[in-house]
Amino acid sequence: MALFGRDGNRKELENLARREGRLPPGQSLTLKWPVLHYGGVPVFDPATWDFKISGEVEEPLRLTWEEFRALPQTEVVSDFHCVTRWSRLDNHWRGVLFTDVLKLVKPKPGAQFTLLLAEEGYTANVPLADLQRPDVLFAFEHDCAPLPAEHGGPLRLVVPHLYGWKSVKWVRGFLLLDQERLGFWERNGYHAYGDPWREQRYSGR
């Protein structure tokens, strides 16, 4: 059920979301859209931007911005949970499903893990199977508008069922791996998997 656009204050909506099982433990509802990231906001140049897939694939792939934008598009509505305890519900995303991107390469049999690669060296690790869910996409629109640069524009990953640090902003590609390789926050004390429903916030796995 859509909670946004209804009458009521934040606390009422939060109670409703909790009753409906939409808020993971220890999270509170925000009606705003916080901006959260490490480092600066990169400048986007469509002429030089590319998206690369390599690692455990038969042939590495490189797509230009034009080629990426020509891929089939999908809309997904999903909730977003940040490890710093805010959740934003009913986000409308538009972009390319991870599975539609993966179709363009031939993963080697051992490929079970991924490392997402973003501007300025930001990375996040996600098991391949978790990205193959029907609500995981590379998004370039949010709530029917181009994704603002501070929220990851031109392109970000959205992984609704894991904490927000896995939803890599300014994403530029990914590695397929036969062994787990930890990403930026995961090496710095965050949980390797990050399931908000099990409160996998920090360290351990």
Site residues (CB under 6 A) for ligand MTE, limited to 25-84: 34-38, 82
150-156: Cβ within 8 A, 24+ apart: 150/35, 150/37, 150/41, 151/33, 151/35, 153/44, 154/44, 154/46, 154/49, 154/65, 155/51, 155/68, 155/95
Q: Which of 22, 94, 151, 191 binds ligand MTE (CB under 6 A)?
A: 151
User: CB under 5 A: which stretch of 63-71, 141-149, 157-165, 170-178 binds Mo ion?
Assistant: 157-165
Site residues (CB under 6 A) for ligand MTE, limited to 79-108: 82
> Is residue 190 at the binding interface for ligand MTE, with CB under 6 A as the rule?
no
| Closest by Cα among 134, 124, 79, 76 to 102 | 134
| Closest by Cα among 164, 184, 191 to 27 | 164
> Is residue 33 at the binding interface for Mo ion, with CB under 5 A as the rule?
no
In angstroms, the CA 172 to CA 195 distance is 24
Shortest spacing between CB 168 and ligand MTE, in angstroms: 5
Q: Which of 42, 95, 152, 164 binds Mo ion (CB under 5 A)?
A: 164
Residues that bind ligand MTE (CB under 6 A): 34-38, 82, 118, 122, 151-152, 164-165, 167-170
Residues that bind Mo ion (CB under 5 A): 82-83, 164-165
